[in-house]
Each structure stands twice: as C-alpha cells, then as structure tokens.
Amino acid sequence: MRICIIAEGSYPHITGGVSSWIHSLVTNMPEHEFVIFAIVANEKQRGQFKYTLPPNIAEVKELFLDAYLNEHGESGHRFRLSDAQRNAIRSLLGAGGEVNWSGIFDLLRAKKLRAAADFLMSKDFFDILVELCQDKYAQVPFTEMFWTVRSMVLPLFQTIRSDIPKADLYHSVSTGYAGVVGALAKHLYGAPYVLTEHGIYSREREEEIIKAAWVKGYFKDLWIEYFYRLSEAAYESTDEVITLFNRNKEIEIELGCDENKIKIIPNGVNVSDYADIAGPPAGENGKIRLGAIVRIVPIKDIKTLIQSFSLVKREVPEAELYIMGPAEENEEYYEECLQLVETLQVTDIIFTGSVRIKDYLARMDIILLSSVSEGMPLAVLEAMAASKPCITTDVGSCKELLQGLDDGIGPAGIVVPVMHYDQMAAAIINLCKNRNQREEMGRNGLLRATATYTREKFIEDYRKVYSNYEEGKRWQASASN
C-alpha cells in the first residue's frame, strides 16, 4: 500500500519527538511504500534532511510556507463568487459559522485563478474584508487588517493550490496545514485519511500567539480562531483520529471532533535498546548529572530550566545540567538562553548540540522536561526505558507516564506546574539528595515502559490501522471487477 505521511515542521528536516516517531513508524513497516509530504517553514531548508531515509520512502515532496513572500498578485479581478464561496471565505476569516472547506478547495484550485495572490488582490476579497471590518473590526485601520489577513491566509492558499501526490491512504501527524492537506487529498481523490495528533496543534498555536510580540493585541483573537478553523478541517474530513492519551481525546472532543472517530494508541520505545545503560550511573567525581533531551525552542521553555538550575546550584553545587539537542531551529532563542545563563552567572550548564542521546543518557542521574506543551514526549519514554527518574512539567501525557493509570506501579518521577521554576528546582533538589528515591523511581519507570509503552505494541497497533484500509482497498478492487 502507498501511504502519504503529511508532516508539518518535522520529518525529515527537524529532529525531535514527532520526527523520531515518523522515522520509527516508516522504518518498521517495510511492507508499505511511503511518500513524505513535508510542510517546511523556510525555502533555505530545501533538501536539508536530518535523517537517512529508509528505502521504502519513495519520495519526499517539500512545500515551503515562506514561498508566499515571492508571490505578487494582479489587482482588480472579479471572480464572481457564489454565495456559498463568499460565506466560506468569510467564515474562514472569523465571521462565524462552519467553514465550507470543499468550497474553498474548489475555488482556490480553479483554473481561472492564476495565483493565490490574485484572489487576495481581487475585488471579491476586498468586499469580503470590508464587510468583516464593518461587522467585527470597525476600530482597526483597514490597511492593517488587509495586510494582516493577507499574511495569515496566503501560505494556506498556496498550500491548497499545491500538487498533492496520489496515495492509497493519507496520514497527517498533526492538524494545522498538515490537516488541511489531508482533508484536501480526501476531497481530490476520495482516498481515506487518518490523523494522528501528538499535541493539540491549535492549543499550541494559541499559546504562541498570546505571547507573540509580532501580533498586535487586537489581531490575536483573529489568528487564534484561524488556527482552530484549520483544525476543524482535519477533524471534519478524517476517517479516524488517533491520539496518544486520554486527556488529548477529551480536548479533541471539546474542540468539536466526533468522539466515535477517536482511538488511543500510545507511543512506544524499544526497551531492549537501553538495557545496557539502564539504572543509575556509576559515580563520577561525585557529580549529579541532570539531562534535558530537547530542541532549543520556546515551546520547550529552556529558560525555566535554566532558572531552576540556578536555584539548584545553591543547594547542590556538584550538579551539572546537560541540555542535549539542536539549537539551529531558533537561533535567536538559543542566544537568549545563553544570555540568561550569563546574566544569572550560573555554571555547569552544557549545551551539547545534537548528540547520540544514548551515549549521554547512560551518565544521567535525572532527566528533566520543562515544556509548556507536549504530546507524549519520547524523551520521557527513553528515560523510563533507561531506568532514569524524571521531573517534568504537567503537560501532555507526562503525569500519566510518570504516575500511571492504576497500574500498581509506583511513581517514575515528579510532575510540577508549567513555568514554575521554583517548584521544579525544589523537586530537583529533593531527588538530588535522595539516591534511594531516584533509584526506585527509575525502576518504576522501566517497569511501566515494559508493561505499556513498547515499540512493538505501537507498531503492531498501527499495522492494524493500515491493514483495515488495505482490506477496504482490496474489497473495492474486487467489487469493481
């Protein structure tokens, strides 16, 4: 079966949890042929793959969201929109009501439309925007509204106009632009579409926009609603939604996803890969080594980690912090983190860059995660498989991973509130001073990973998902004969 994996901001250009998940899935299913539809932020990333692709990946199609910077429209066109098309565009821009995604797909892919920017410079779009300003944004300068909306929707419109490779099954690993591509593929080809949601994409974008300095206050709601509309496209069109843990399922239902579509398949880790390093490290010069397996980006909240460690050093001077992961994805944020280290005058923080995690994991006493949003973090699963205790923020499935769901296994770590560096520091200090507790939590993590979160179970569950659609394809073929 030919399966198109639709990935946004991840595989194969970026390392990390979702990318590792995709690579593991594809590598462990050699019986299927895969196409990767990679939605990438910047053209400069073209061909910059961070993974050696397995032979069953037949193609990687790259779509760059910054391509809109090079597109210029011709003004003054009139496309004679139907009432349904006009309402679909209005609802996408926050005027209320359900978005008619099929109508938007057909409009933007129509042959009469030379470029997406032509529509945004058309009299039709101008009229829609004037109405929207009169109804909801009367106090906002029209020119600000026009350029804000244009920058918001032009990447989406270009995405909708892109060539979608043909496949037997489409599988997006988030909502957002990836979810819209999945919905578009189903609209164009009638093929089944499956969505896996690791974190809740629309909630993550909301958190980013609330904090973003580049979005003016009166436009924040517009941007937030826009990303929720994108998620609705995926929820509405998908045949099946797979999520990683129960709280995600509850949020998806709150956001309008049909409960009957949702099933839970947790991530998994190959426990045997860590057998040779499982357990506490051998004492090395009396050091206590803390590790964070993480991309250095704002959503991982490295600054809270640094602030926590500055408090830890006062109580545990022998502590060292290893931040293990790439910094090039957001170099500005990385520089801010370095400046914070210097401002706090805290020592023994080592930014390792991209490394072979297993080599470092063997030396760690405690694994830390300070994210403001997560799904089911692979870093925590790897730590559990290596019998390392964890201290994490209360995001995604972390509490479920570390405390279990009435499985009779004790805690594998400590969960603290998001952005509370003082509480994270207190938890770290507590574990640093209690070797017996660290070792017990490490053993509990290994037991839980072995019982519930194995890669074998994860792959087998997805093999069953794919086989269901493969059987449907065979049935259709035999019926047509």
DSSP characters for 247-261? HHHHHHHHTT--GGG
Q: Are residues 419 and 281 in the same domain?
A: yes
Which residue, of 133, 153, 173, is where some domain finishes?
A: 153
Q: Are residues 309 and 204 in the same domain?
A: no
Quick check: bond before 12 cis, omega within 30?
A: yes
Q: Are residues 207 and 312 in the same domain?
A: no
Q: Are residues 174 and 293 in the same domain?
A: no
Tokens of 318: 């022998």
Edge-to-edge strand list for the sheet holding 319-324: 349-353, 319-324, 288-293, 366-369, 390-393, 413-416
Q: Is the residue at 459 inside a domain?
A: no
Neighbours of 440 (CB within 10 A): 15
**What is the rounded CA–CA span in Å between residue 282 and residue 63?**
47
Q: Are residues 194 and 248 in the same domain?
A: yes
Burial class, 479, CB count within 10 angstroms (exposed 0-12 / middle 13-18 / buried 19+): exposed
- Single-letter amino acid code for the residue at 246: N
Q: Are residues 321 and 353 in the same domain?
A: yes
In this structure, are residues 477 and 8 in contact, taking their beta carbons and an 8 Å threshold?
no
Q: What is the pLDDT along the chain (481 residues), one digit of tens a residue?
A: 999 999 999 999 988 789 999 999 999 999 999 999 999 999 999 999 999 999 999 999 999 998 877 777 778 788 888 888 888 898 898 777 788 999 999 999 988 888 888 888 889 899 999 988 888 888 888 999 999 998 899 999 999 999 999 999 999 999 999 999 999 999 999 999 999 999 899 998 998 898 888 888 888 988 999 999 999 999 999 999 999 999 999 999 999 999 999 999 999 999 999 999 988 886 667 899 999 999 999 989 999 999 999 999 999 999 999 999 999 888 999 999 999 999 999 999 999 998 888 889 999 999 999 999 888 998 999 999 999 999 999 998 999 999 998 899 999 999 999 999 999 999 999 999 999 999 999 999 999 999 999 999 999 999 999 999 986 564 454 444 3
Q: Is the residue at 350 inside a domain?
A: yes
Q: Is the residue at 8 inside a domain?
A: yes
- Which phi and psi angles does 355 have, rounded to 5°? -140, 170
Q: Are residues 297 and 387 in the same domain?
A: yes
Edge-to-edge strand list for the sheet holding 2-8: 57-64, 33-40, 2-8, 169-172, 193-197, 240-243, 262-264
Q: Are residues 35 and 173 in the same domain?
A: yes
Q: Is the residue at 235 inside a domain?
A: yes
Q: Are residues 173 and 312 in the same domain?
A: no
**Domain CATH code at residue 297:** 3.40.50.2000
From residue 319, alpha-carbon distances to 176, 185, 285, 354, 425 in Å are 40, 51, 11, 22, 12
Which residue, of 153, 172, 194, is where some domain finishes?
A: 153
Contacts (Cβ under 8 Å, ≥6 apart) of 195: 171, 172, 175, 179, 182, 234, 235, 238, 240, 241, 242
Tokens of 298: 């704002």
Burial class, 163, CB count within 10 angstroms (exposed 0-12 / middle 13-18 / buried 19+): exposed
Q: Is the residue at 320 inside a domain?
A: yes
Residue 222 belongs to domain spanning: 2-70+163-264
Q: Are residues 234 and 112 in the same domain?
A: no
